[in-house]
Amino acid sequence: MGRAVRFRGVKATPKTLEKDLLTKASKLASNPSLLIPKCEQHCRRCGYDKLLKKMEKVAQYKDDAETLQDLATRGDQLVRAYAATISLAASGKIPFLSSKKTPEGGDVSFAVRGKVDAEYLIGVQHFDDPDLRLLAYFQDAQQSDLHIYSSPEGLYCSSDGAQAPLDYSKEMLATAPYELKADNSCGHPEAVIGLMIDWRSAKINIFICQECADEVNLLHHLLSRIAAREPWDDFDIDVRYSPRCVADCGACRMKEKFTMSKGLKESYDKGQVSDVMLLSRYTQEREAHLQKSGGELYISGDECFGHNKEAFLARLKGNEAELIALSGVVRNKPMPIISVNDQAGRIIADLWPQYKEELLAQVASPDIVKSILASPGNLTPPQLVFEARRQELSRSIISRLPDYALKGPIGMMADDLARSFKTEGKSAMVRMLDRNRPRETRSKAVAYGFLVAVGEAESHNWQYTKEEIDFGRYLGDFVQTLLGAEGNDYDQALHNLLTACGANEDLKRK
Give residues in contact with Zn ion (CB under 5 A): 39, 43, 46, 157, 186, 188, 209, 212, 245, 249, 252, 304, 306
Q: How far is the CB of 416 from Zn ion (least distance, A)?
A: 53
Residue 186 CA to residue 317 CA, distance in Å, equals 28
Nearer Cβ to Zn ion, position 210 or 224?
210
CA distance to 324, 359, 360, 381, per residue, from 317 (Å): 11, 16, 18, 16
CB of 187 to Zn ion, least distance (A): 5
Listing DSSP states for 156-220 in one string gives EEESSS----HHHHHHHHHTSSS---TTSBSS-TT-SEEEEEEETTTTEEEEEETTT--SS-HHH
CB-based contact 158:227 (threshold 8 Å): no
Least separation in angstroms between CB 246 and Zn ion:
8
Tell the smallest beta-carbon distance from residue 47 to Zn ion (Å): 8
CB of 281 to Zn ion, least distance (A): 19
**Torsion angle of C-alpha atoms 431, 436, 440, 441, degrees rounded to 10:** 0
Report the DSSP pairing between strands 303-304 and 147-151: unpaired
User: Hey, is 456 helix, strand or coil?
Assistant: coil
Q: Which is nearer to Zn ion, 252 or 324 (CB)?
A: 252
Nearest to 429 by CA among 412, 414, 417: 417
Q: Most distant CA pair in the chain: distance in Å? A: 114
Closest to Zn ion by CB, 291 vs 480, is 291
Give me the least distance between CB of 297 and Zn ion, in Å please.
Answer: 7
d(CA 5, CA 303) in angstroms, rounded, equals: 49
Q: Which of 306, 449 has the CB closer to Zn ion?
A: 306
Distance, in Å, from the CA atom of 122 to the CA atom of 138, rounded to the nearest integer, reads 12
Q: Which is nearer to Zn ion, 207 or 478 (CB)?
A: 207
Contacts of 19 (CB under 8 A, 6+ apart): none
- What's the closest the beta carbon of residue 241 comes to Zn ion, in angstroms? 11
CB of 284 to Zn ion, least distance (A): 19
Q: Which is nearer to Zn ion, 212 or 313 (CB)?
A: 212
CA 333 to CA 325: how far, in whole Å?
Answer: 13
Cβ proximity to Zn ion: between 245 and 503 the closer is: 245
Q: Which is nearer to Zn ion, 39 or 330 (CB)?
A: 39
Q: What separation in angstroms does the CA of 28 have from each of 71, 130, 330?
A: 16, 16, 71
In the complex, least distance from residue 170 CB atom to Zn ion, rounded to whole angstroms: 21
CB-nearer residue toward Zn ion: 121 or 249: 249
What are the CA-CA distances from residue 20 to residues 14, 27, 110 (Å)? 10, 11, 11
